Amino acid sequence: MKDVDPGIFGLIVLPLLFINLLSLVAVTVYARDKIDKLLSRCSVIVDNKETLGGLGIMGDIIRVGVAGGLLTFPKVFRNKTIVDEEQVNTFPSRLKAMIVIQWIALALLMLALVILSIWMKSSSP
């Protein structure tokens, strides 16, 4: 790996990150109202809508991320808040996958950026 320039890795990761963020915005715009309707009896969703509702698209992105966490790890949220397990279990799997995949991809790209940063620091003279 000494012969490979870290900049090439960065040229791959950064456009992927940009595409992921654009698609995250698109998924948020598409899913935010559906999430509010389908998880209307979950207190974490209702509370986040009240708290983050006035922040615009950034608040909506955070709300969709929290909903993705709720759908991925419902037992964690069940212990802390009121979660309607029936609503979580009947949530459409295609919409759930769309939300969760976006956030997993974002986490992996951020991890790749951290690795790139470490690699660049270790390869500099």
CB count within 10 Å of CB 120 equals 14
pLDDT tens digit at each of 125 positions of the chain: 567 777 788 888 889 999 999 999 999 999 988 998 998 888 888 888 888 878 888 999 999 998 888 888 888 877 777 787 888 888 999 999 999 999 899 999 999 989 888 888 887 66
Angle at 31 between CA 107 and CA 61, to 5 degrees: 45
pLDDT value of residue 97: 92
Instruction: Confirm whether 17 is domain-assigned.
Output: yes
What are the tokens at 11? 């040229």
Which amino acid is residue 108, in one-letter code?
L
Q: How many domains does the chain have?
A: 1
What are the tokens at 17? 């990150």
pLDDT value of residue 69: 87
pLDDT value of residue 120: 81
Instruction: Confirm whether 30 is domain-assigned.
Output: yes
Instruction: Confirm whether 1 is domain-assigned.
Output: no
Which amino acid is residue 101, in one-letter code?
I
Instruction: Confirm whether 123 is domain-assigned.
Output: no
Cα distance between residue 10 and residue 50, in whole Å: 38
pLDDT value of residue 30: 92
pTM of the model: 0.79
Instruction: Confirm whether 53 is domain-assigned.
Output: yes
DSSP state of 81: S
Instruction: Confirm whether 64 is domain-assigned.
Output: yes
Instruction: Confirm whether 124 is domain-assigned.
Output: no
pLDDT value of residue 44: 84
Q: Domain of 107?
A: 6-117
Angle at 73 between CA 68 and CA 76, to 5 degrees: 120
Instruction: Confirm whether 122 is domain-assigned.
Output: no
